[in-house]
Structure 1
Amino acid sequence: MTVIVNWNFERRPPHSRQAATLMDRVVAQRPDVICLTEAHDGSTASIGGYEIADRGATWSNNRRDGERLVLLWSPSPWWGVEATGNADTSTGGYISGVTETPAGAMRVIGICAPHHAASQVGAAENARQWTEQVAFWNGLAKLIAPRDRSIPTVLLGDFNQYVPRIWGSKAAHAAMLAALDDLRVATGGPIIGIDEPTIDHVAHTPDLVPQQVFGLSRFDDDGRALSDHFGVVARFARPDMR
């Protein structure tokens, strides 16, 4: 069984009370792969292992130097690492790498898609709503289509869309589905334990079978918000390894 945790940390720095509590909840799941969005460089430093991250696009004037739109962690080293670094996904965040998991070698693609009103700081004009996200999905499709399909793949992070679509741009939703191609979304509909749909998704190739998907509360024991997103846990098996 391979355990994957996906959570948007709402820009909480590692030394903050909120981030420390969030990481405690992540570690309690004994994950094999972690994806954090809107986190910081070194967010997983307290648990060792190997972290790769992408700074991604800048949508806010008050962004700190250490902020990363998307970060991946594994207890095993990463190889074949790719980050945004090109025009294809420059409107959001993208980091990809291969690591060893209980299900064998796995390609993990972490993303943070632009929110519907995202507009990059310093641009000559403000972007129209949803255009940054459509551009991101179109670029992502170019990056993931030629991947090595002999390696099981998980694509996860903040999609900034519900699956199935509840509201928002039909064009952006169509662009997302086209980019996913053969990847199946394991996190569609209300999430067990939270009873709400999520915009933080885990998609996977058909050679991975989701055994369990559930949510982690975004509130601490005193009812204070730790993040504006709840966490998502997905447990996967290979059909030939169950």
Structure 2
Amino acid sequence: MDRTPEITVATWNTAWATVGSRRGQLIRQRLTDTDADVLVVTEGRRGLLAEGGHVADGGDDWGYGRERDRRKVLLWSQQPLTDVERITTGAGAGRVVTAMTTTPAGPIRVLAVCIPWSNAHVSTGRKDAAVWSEHLECLDHIEALVSGLDADIPVVIAGDMNQRVPRVRQPVRVASRLAEVLGRWTVHTAGDVEHGPLIDHVASDLTCAGLRTWSGTSPEVRLSDHSGVMCTLTRA
């Protein structure tokens, strides 16, 4: 019997690890070891990504001052990325990138995100936001973007969503808004999973055939304040 083609998608917030540090070396190895078809890295640097792939990012300006090699969101794929689009204004700027790529199970569209945390630009950065306002505005941008996507092409959304799913402590209105924006997709990383509950998520309109997580710690050093996750997806 032929095996059903699978798509592996991983995501992790690497907490601005520098490439030459021991922490950065360990993170890079862990990312490489996933051998994912598609990888979304948030708060990261290109040098942490495996060689030989194809990369798109959300841009270098999310309102906190630009640093040459820092990116809020990076999308890496084993196969070329096409039809790349970014959000360049408002709370989504620098935090959202989408592209098409091919996989063993056929073409998919990937939406890579790093949605602002609750206090973004409240007491740091521009200092002109209210609690959760940047998060909610970014969700508005994402909703507008996904409304124009081709419904015949599978969509995978991955990255740092800065909410636990289902709701834990965030306001009901904030949890409800995320659920509304992601309404047509299944959040495969929701609920009680190892090293969870997670705020780095993978959602799609595909079937999740397997899920693996890893902690942000190692015997040597703390790698990240986030757990990482990889999903194995198949067409129904």
Using the size of structure 1 for normalisation, the TM-score is: 0.88
| 1:198 paired residue number | 198
Q: Is 1:29 equivalent to 2:38 in the alignment?
A: no
Q: How does 1:139-178 map to 2 (within 5 A)?
A: 139-178=141-180
Q: Structure 1: how far apart are the matches of 2:107 and 2:8?
A: 14
Shift of 1:88: 6.8
Secondary structure at the aligned position of 1:58 is classed as coil
Shift of 1:57: 4.9
Secondary structure at the aligned position of 2:34 is classed as coil
From 213, 224, 227, the counterpart of 2:224: 227
Q: Structure 1: how far apart are the matches of 2:155 and 2:29?
A: 26
Q: How does 1:18-167 map to 2 (within 5 A)?
A: 18-44=23-49, 46-55=50-59, 57-58=61-62, 60=64, 64-87=67-90, 89-90=92-93, 93-119=95-121, 123=126, 125-167=127-169
Q: Structure 2: how far apart are the matches of 1:47 and 1:191?
A: 30
Shift of 1:43: 2.9
Q: Structure 2: how far apart are the matches of 1:166 and 1:199?
A: 11
| 1:185 paired residue number | 187
AA matched with 2:68: D
Q: How many pairs align? A: 230
Provide, for residues 26-81 of structure 1, a one-character-per-residue CA deviation record: whole Å limited to 9, x for no partner: 2222210000000013432x4211011113653646x6321100001111100010
AA matched with 1:71: L
Shift of 1:109: 0.4
Q: Which runs of 5+ in 2 are unaligned?
A: 1-5
Q: Structure 2: how far apart are the matches of 1:134 and 1:88?
A: 9
The verdict on how the C-alpha distance between 1:234 and 1:186 changes in structure 2, with shifts beyond 3 A counting, is: same
AA matched with 1:49: G
Using the size of structure 2 for normalisation, the TM-score is: 0.91
